[in-house]
Each structure stands twice: as C-alpha cells, then as structure tokens.
Structure 1
Amino acid sequence: MRFGMPWPGRDVGREAEQAGVGAFCAGEFADHDAYLTVADVVANTEHALAGPAIAYAFARTPYAHATALRQLHAQAPGRLFLGLGSAAFRINRDWLGVPAERPVARIAETVGAVRAWLHAENGDRVRYSGEFYALDADVRAPVLGRLDIPVLLAAFNTRMAATAGRVADGVVGHGLFTGSWWNEVVRPSVAAGAADGDRADGGRAGTRPLEHGWIITAVDDAAPERAVADARRMIAFYLTVRTYDPFVAHHGWEEPVARVRAAFRAGDTAGMARAVTDEMLTGIAVCGTTADAKDALARRAGSLPRDVGYFAPPSFMVGRGRRAAYARAALALVGAVPDPA
C-alpha cells in the first residue's frame, strides 16, 4: 500500500513527500475546492500521485471535471487520479441546486461522460449518449488527445461499490471503514460489479479495481489522550449520518450510535466521544502514540486499502495547527506501511 495523506499545505507537504509519502488527495466543502487544492499539490511536489478524493460529482459538468484534469496533466503527467463522490442528497439539492434523485445511476453516467472527454483524440467528435448526459462536441482545436487518468468512485454501501466496480477504475473508501466492512461488504460488491461489467467504456480492462481509502489518524506522543479523544469525536461525527446505518448494523453498534446521536442533538461533543466504544475506536482509527499507531497498522495489515491509504487527521473540532501537527506525526508511520512501488 502506498502511504498517502490529505494535502497538508505546502510546507508540510514538501516535507511529507521527502519522507516517503507517495500520494496526496484533496477533498472539498463550502470553503475549499478540490481542483484548486490539487493544483497546489502538483505545483509543490515532484513525484507523488495527486487527485480529488473526492470532488462532488454533480457540482460540475463532465466537461468541467475533464478540462480541469487536462490542465493539471500538463503540469503533472502520469500523476493524476480522479475520485468522484455523489455527495449527500441535501448537499445536491440545497447547496448545489442540482437534481438529487438517483445518484447511483447519475454518477455511473458521469464517469462515462468524463471519460468521453478524457479519451477524446484530436479530430474526433466527443460523443456520449445517456439518460442524464448527451455530448456531441466538435472541438476544432488541437487541444485533445487521450488521457488515461483513473476514475474512482467514493463508495460506502453495496450499490455504489458495485457501480464503482462496474463502470469506474476503483473505489475510494471512507474513513469509517473497518476490516470487516472492506472484506465482507465493499470488496465483494466491487468485485461483483467488475465481473458484471465488461469495462468496454474505457475502464482498466483485465485489471483489479483500484482501492484508495481514508484512515482516521491521530498520533501525538506528548499527549496521546488528546489524540485518542480527537479520533473518537471524528468517528462520532461521521456516525451522526444515517447513510452509515448499514455499517452500524453490520457491526452491531446500534446502541452506542444511538448515544452518539443523542449527544449530538444535545450539542454535547464530549458525550459524543464517550459514546464511541473501544471496539469502534480500534476497528476504525489509528491513534495514540507512535507505538500504538504502529501496533494498529500491524493488526490491520490485511484490511487496509490495497493501493493508497490516506492517513487523515481528524477535522471535527480540530484546528488547522493541530491537524498539521498530526500530519507531521503521521510521517513516523511511513516505514510501517510498505510501498509496493
């Protein structure tokens, strides 16, 4: 597995690449744009992979996703990937003002339409025909040429995971993932989707779907209790969302998650953290001292994302300075995660 992390900024990022970090990803929210962050990554690194993990799929047209990647490719050929996420129903409807229904079918077509632009050769029309997108572009300028940039889908539950296997090049796993969720739910669903699809739409025919994934990571040798508390709060914050109920049921965590949600409704962030059990913490996060974190990685060696793991500092109730400190501390784990490259 290649060691990666969310882009920690230029200073820490340069230090991280020198320490052996092989991939940086960019998310997005109301205050930061995925592609602008990837531009910062490629301008300030030399070899590491870079890409959104994830960009909101429906916030942009397929054309906009593809043109951003083409411009970035000019700076970082061979280093890019694209992770797309459907986003929550309310984000699509209320924030982005786009149709929110049928996200699985819509994102499957988004992959095909983005690829139509990425794979377009000079002189050829860019064509795609589907229910949600119809392209027939005659670009009379020498600006195209095929780009084989991997397209991944953020997939938590089985339908999206199967879709990632069927139409995309792989999957981006969530920070909540445990070993059993990877091995018993997500991987079988991705594999079933890959077997069902012939990859004739330009996917990586004949290859295993890629696995990228986030790993909640909080290491602080001077104050390990604080690191553990931050990891617990991050887990609790994620679990306030009912999208993850199948994951909760899979592990039999309904009772503690009910306490998490009750504390969240009451505005009790300390109560949210207390409701996260030790079983939940050890199954999901890598946290505590450096030694604790290395032990956790050893226990989870067979159940981490196979290709790229993004060792992500907690962000809920954690300021920029502490997140940067967690990113630097995580560099001590690089040697504990073999890089197949």
Structure 2
Amino acid sequence: MSQVGVTLPFDGLPLHQHREAIERLADAGISEVSTGESNGLDALSPLLLAAAWRPELTLTAAVVSAFTRGPSIMASTAAALAEAAPGRARFGIGAGSDRIVEGWNGIPFTKPYSRVAHTLRVLRATLSGQRASTVAESAAALGIEDFKLGRPPERPPALVVAALGPRMQRLAAAEADGVVLNFLAASDVSTVRDAAAGVDRQLPDPLAVQARVFVVTGEGDPAELAARRMIAAYLSVPVYANFQRWLGRGEQLAEMAEAWDRGDRAKAVEVIPDQVVHDLFLTGSPRDIAPRVRAYLDAGVEIATLGVLPPYGVKASPSDQVDFLCELAAALWSDAVT
C-alpha cells in the first residue's frame, strides 16, 4: 500500500518538542517518518521517539552510511530500530558522499559500491541471527573478524539501499528489500524501474521503491530561489551529479556545474533551467502540490517521503510547516478519493 511520509527532525524544533507535530501529522494521514545522517542529528533518535509517541508509524532510517558506522555497530543500530517498531522498521544503507565520509569524518571514500554491497550482506546475515562468517567473502572484504549479534530482532527490519546509479540500483533490485531515491522527478521512476528489470532477484518479495520528494512551502520567486540554491549545493557533489547525468540531465546542468567549479555560486544558482527546478521540487499551495505527490505514487513509488523547505528568506516556524503538511495530506487523500 502506498504511503506518504515526512522527513524528521523539523528545523527550529528541539527533538523533545516534536511530539505534538508527529501526532498531528499521523492524525492527518502521514504514515511514515524518515531520517538521515549528515551534519545534523543521528538517524535513530528521532525515529525512536516517534515510535514511542505513535506506534503505528513506519520508521525509515534513510540513510546510514556504510562507511561511518562499523558493521557490528550498524547491525546493533538496525536491531534497535526493529525492536522499537516490529514489522514497521526500514533500515537504509548508503555510501554517502566523499564530502561526508572523507571530508567530515576522515574516512577514505574508496570502493563505495563494494562497501555497501558487503555491508548489506553482513547485515542480512547477522540480523537473522547468523554469524558474519556465513557471508565469509563480505566479512573479509570489510576486514572484520567473526561477529554474531547478541540480540537479533524477532522481526528484522527491511533493508533498503540508497542508489544513485544503475550499478547500485541493480544491487538493490537483487538483494535489498527496497531502494531509496533522491532528487528525481515522478517521470524518472520508470527509468529506475527499467534499470532493475531483468535482475536476478534473490528475495521473494518485489523491490519496494521509496523516494524523498522535496517540497517548498510557498510559491513565486522566494520558493524558486530556495529550490535553486539546494539544487546547486547538492547536484554539484559528484555522486549526485553522476546520478543526474544518468537520468539524462547532464547537458541541462552543465552550465551550473561549470559556474560552481569556478566558484561563482550566484551564477550556478541562476543558470539552472526552469524545467529542472520544476522537475525536482514541488512548490505552491497544498492543493497545487497534492497531485504532483500523487504522480510519484502512481509511477510506482511505495513511500513518498516529503522533505520540506521554507521559501528563501522566509523564517517559517515548525508549526507553519506542520500546518502546511496537514493541509497537503488532506488535499492528497481528497484527490485520491475523487
């Protein structure tokens, strides 16, 4: 069944004050909450609080870098999430980026595909109660000695992979419960589905597709500028730039990349084509945005997780964002019924 979720935490709202927001969103029909790890809070804490406040929510850690946590700590983290939300936990594994892994954590960012693949296999084994030596090649590749999780969960979490290219997507299609995507239009979902077609899937259930959908809570120039600034900042990072090239936007983003590389940030923001902004960001009123969220679900996305930003220069309060999301959920379910 298709779900719509939101990204946590809300900026400007201390974590211990999130309860009211989460309860309002759950009452409005939001059924999933998602976190990540970069330079903010860790991926687990907001989800554990949400699980305590609204036990029916699906919890997604999307995603944890396979480089920044060792395999045994990652298995323990995933097990804790599974215990907090039995049958509703989704643990995302990704490479991260060279900026986060190497620049911020001092860990060499080498062979990201191999790191994710071997971590996925070790997690699959250890979360089911087996020793890491069950997948000896992967344990050796990660440089770990034999390891057995002391408290494997009764219901292991779904293991999902963050994929920004065809090779990682094929890994997800073959060995993961789901794939998590970022910075894509609803029209791109078929490209991702096609990449997974023909892969020899090793699991009984079909691959679930989850996408973070970026929403700006407003319209006009401030909303567009917020979208443009985020596109320039993220799509200048090599892993994201490569993903957009694979999706067919390389030529459209070439001028932006050139301006960014020579240090002209203002020019990079300015030259992003309007079509790219429209494809990757949803702006406008809740009623405007609802059918565009529905387009992701109709294209085959099982969970559309909304990442919410205020218009540039607007200091939106967390309650304003929650109000907007509740209105959006109401419009979305109304559209679904009609």
* TM-score, structure 1 as length reference: 0.82
Range 229-238 or range 91-100, more displaced: 91-100
Match of 2:162 among 154, 158, 162: 154
1:171 pairs with one of 179, 184, 201: 179
Residue 211 (1) aligns with residue 209 (2): yes
Q: Is the 8 A contact 2:232 2:256 kept in 1?
A: no
Alpha-carbon deviation of 1:300? Answer: 5.2
Distance 1:145 1:252 in 2: 42
Q: Matches of residues 126-165 of structure 1 in structure 2 within 5 Å?
A: 127-130=134-137, 131-133=140-142, 134-137=144-147, 143-144=151-152, 146-165=154-173
Pairing partner for 2:196 from 172, 175, 190: 190
Does the Cα contact within 8 Å between 1:215 and 1:311 map onto a contact in 2? yes
Change (3 A) 1:299 1:59: closer
Deviation (angstroms), 1:155: 0.5
Q: 1:34 to 1:267 in 2, by over 3 A?
A: farther
Aligned to 2:56: 47
Q: Identify which of 69, 73, 81 aligns with 1:64.
A: 73
Query: Which residue is equivalent to 2:301?
Result: 306
SS at match of 1:53: strand
Alignment of 1:71-150 (within 5 A): 71-120=80-129, 127-130=134-137, 131-133=140-142, 134-137=144-147, 143-144=151-152, 146-150=154-158
Deviation at residue 316 of structure 1 after TM alignment:
10
How far apart are the structure 1 equivalents of 2:186 and 2:321? 23
Deviation at 1:319?
Answer: 8.2
Compute the displacement of 1:115 (Å).
Answer: 1.7
Matching residue of 2:251: 254
Q: C-alpha separation between the residues in 2 aligned to 1:323 and 1:145?
A: 34
Structure 2 unaligned regions, length at least 5: none
Quote how far apart the aligned CAs of 1:190 are: 2.6
Report the number of matched residues: 322
Gaps of 5+ in 1: 200-204
Distance 1:321 1:296 in 2: 23
Alpha-carbon offset, residue 298 of structure 1:
5.3
Deviation string 1:257-296 (CA, Å, 9 cap, x unpaired) is 4136515754544x44432322112222111222321343
| 1:125 CA displacement | 8.6
SS at structure 2 position matched to 1:171? strand
1:20: Cα distance to partner? 1.0
Contact 2:186 2:296 in 1 (8 A): yes
Residue identity opposite 1:150 in structure 2: A
SS in 2 for 1:226: helix
| Partner SS state of residue 109, structure 1 | helix
Amino acid at match of 1:227: A
Structure 1 residues 103 and 309: alpha-carbon distance in aligned structure 2, compared to 1, 3 A threshold = same
Give the drift of 1:162.
0.6
CA drift at 1:331? 2.5
CA distance in 2, matches of 1:98, 1:90: 10
Residue type at the aligned position of 2:171: T
Q: What's the % identity of the aligned pairs?
A: 21
User: What is the alpha-carbon distance in structure 2 between the residues aligned to residue 28 and residue 319 of structure 1?
Assistant: 25
Letter in 2 for 1:6: T
Q: Does 1:181 align with 2:153?
A: no
- Give the superposed CA RMSD: 3.1
In structure 1, the partner of 2:281 is 285
Structure 1 CA distance for aligned equivalents of residues 223 and 205 of structure 2: 38
